[in-house]
Structure 1
Amino acid sequence: MSRWLRFLNKNEPLSVYFFAVPRNCLNLMGYWPGGADNKDKKTDKNPPIRAYVHFVILAIGVTTELHAGMRFLHQEELTLALETFCPAATSAVTLLKMFLMLRYRQDISNMWCRLRTLLFDRRRERPDQLDIRLRHSLLAVWINCWPVCAGFFTGSVYNSKPVLIALVLYLQQRSDEILWVIPFNMTMPSFLLKSPFFPFTYLFTAYTGYVTIFMFGGCDGFYFEFCSHISALFEILQSETKALFKPYKDRLSIDAEEALHLEQQLRAIVIRHNALIDLIKSFRQRYAIITLAHFVSAAMVIGFSMVNLLTVGGIGLGVILYVAYTIAAASQLLVYCYGGTLVAESSLGLSRTLFACPWNICWPSQRRYVQLMLLRSQKALTMAVPFFSPSLAAFASEIQDLLQHFDSLPAKAKPE
């Protein structure tokens, strides 16, 4: 277990933190696009068998949950319908993520390898750059741990709710009122809900919840980790640019040898800047459907949870469940929005760094490189998908809208 959780220590090598949370989650499910460790540069085109097994398990869970939700809706049992659609929506989007991770497995693996090559370039091992990479790696680890922990807690509450209710009734000597049900509302054949099959059905339905948790933890964590390291690479470019122009800070001109050296260094920075822009565009294209589907589903889940909170009322296990679900869904949104903000701000910061450098002393050939980077970095790079761009501003706006809708409800409709 210590080998799996080494990334929680602060004194480990940088390679231990690199994609630690998404690698563990996706590797557990069989969807990690890279090798078993960071030394593997290639990925097997055929994913492990457990990837297909988990896909089938979750597909069964999604189908039976949606059927149960529609049945409750047809019977006008709104509370049960919403309680069913909350996990069903999350699981359905997770199933889409699983399909796309398999569909673009090779492309995602190639982008991961390109990112690692840029990040662990041994020719540029200055102390300040090591600090930048370590800071962003630790940030990614702690941010990615939060949605996984929140989701694991929510799933555990769902899975333990029937047992806890039965235990309370037993302690109150009301054993005749105990009704054994499965953790999630799923349409199952009647014989699977009776002895001796019921324990296996219970375990199966509980496991579908954990498949969802580790898959969205890995897939969403991969997104944030990618954005965090892209931000680190932009900061490294800023650091290199400052270091390049630092010797000429108080100079009015440079000679031919210095101009040649400056041009070579600027050319290398321009090449890496262009590589970063191309990498962002490729990654954004592959994650566009995942990001869009995630935002739509997360907004629906938060809305369902808020309605459930209003209908449950009081303080009990149901309230804890829906509060945990709302926090987990909001945490997933935060991961995408924070990642988009990191990329946008760090890419825009390069233009400010270039403008503050004494590039006016350069010869015309070097000025063209500076002007080229200024033109390309003046507009912030974003992780935009159709209809919106993930950012902290978008996250704050969505949370504010939800709170306003909640405050506008009648006082008697709110939970006490």
Structure 2
Amino acid sequence: MKSTLPILFLCLFGIFITSCGDDDCTEVTWYQDTDGDGFGNPDEVIRSCDQPEGYVANSGDCDDSNKDANSDTLPTWYKDADADGFGDPNSPLEACTQPEGYVTNNTDCDDTNKDANPDSFPTWYEDADGDGFGNPDVTTEACTQPDGYVADNTDCDDSNKDANPDMFPTWYRDADGDNYGDSNDFMEACTQPEGYVADDTDCDDSNADINPGAEEDDNDGIDSNCDGTVEITNIWLGPMTPISKPANADWTNPQYQDRITDKVVITRQNNRPFYNYQWWQDQFGQDPSSNDIQHDFYNGTPTLNFTPTGGTKGIKWAILNNSGDHPEWDSNFTLYGTLGEPDHFYSLNNVVTMITNLNNGQNVTEVVNNFTIKVANNGELSTPNFKDIVGIRLGAWLVEDNIYVIFTFTSWGEGKGPNPNPGAFSYERSTQQ
């Protein structure tokens, strides 16, 4: 029988040797690496001779829940000033853990406005008048404020910088509908109220014909254009005074002149129409030649530099509607004048020509210009004859003075015939009351 003792000894010796080897191992500290970045959490340790799974020898992880946060690399955070969850790409900060007021997102387009971010663009309102208040009807969406737009939407009239919630324009009552308002009747409103205008210069809001844009009538005694000046029509209805100039008398002698005003002095050269002596003195400092008097009356070519206007510069003439009974005149004649009303006051040429043709049975229908009239049925016109004005009641309008005077010629001398008396004439005229 074989002995088993050696075999048993060897087995016991092997167990002893193995047991002694485990007692001699050196334990190592291991750090948990949850995020698998090779850096361990210094707060989560284990000691072991062998490396446990999920543990590393490095303890440099500052955030073991983020593989991008460790000793070799720190994450970038972005300022989120408006707390909308979107960070400002221009305000970064590197830190292991998230700083207060910072986020990982860097896509905020306006970090001062929580409503401006990739998930939400604010609405902007057009500010066409530049008053800081926007038009609620004209909008656009954009992250940042577009040029010409504002965040406010309370402008009541975006075409008027003076019309907004901070300031209402003043409107003026336009009762007569002439687009000019009454400065004493006004209201404030954002938009124009019916019956009101922005203008406040009407001086009579009860009359649409009176406003700063109206044409002024210098002879109606009304301030039609609101310039503060009331034109006064001066009609002389005082006693009639006789005026006469003998034949061949010196017309430059004041004795043979009729000085009505400082601007109107009537006289007559030999064999010529009567004229306003003073106008020639004021314009040229001299008396006109007899030819220039003719040229002015008949539209000839003058010697002095002036434009012919049909005679008696500065004076217009009319046949007054109380000229007397003239049965030979056509009853349809309507071109009578009225003192104080410029209508139907014409050139001396017109009036003398009208009287001559009325005396000849023509119906004068129209005055074309200072030298032309028309008669009915295109009849032939007669040449003006100054003798025809004798006995006719005429009105004279001294235009620059705005004075109306009544004239009745009592004689007219001619340089031809059996009893020549060149330059002679006489008349009666009204005086100032």
Shorter-normalised TM range: under 0.3
> Greater RCO between the two (CA within 8 Å, min separation 6)?
1
Larger radius of gyration, structure 1 or 2? Answer: 2
- Give 1 or 2: higher strand fraction: 2
TM norm structure 1: 0.19
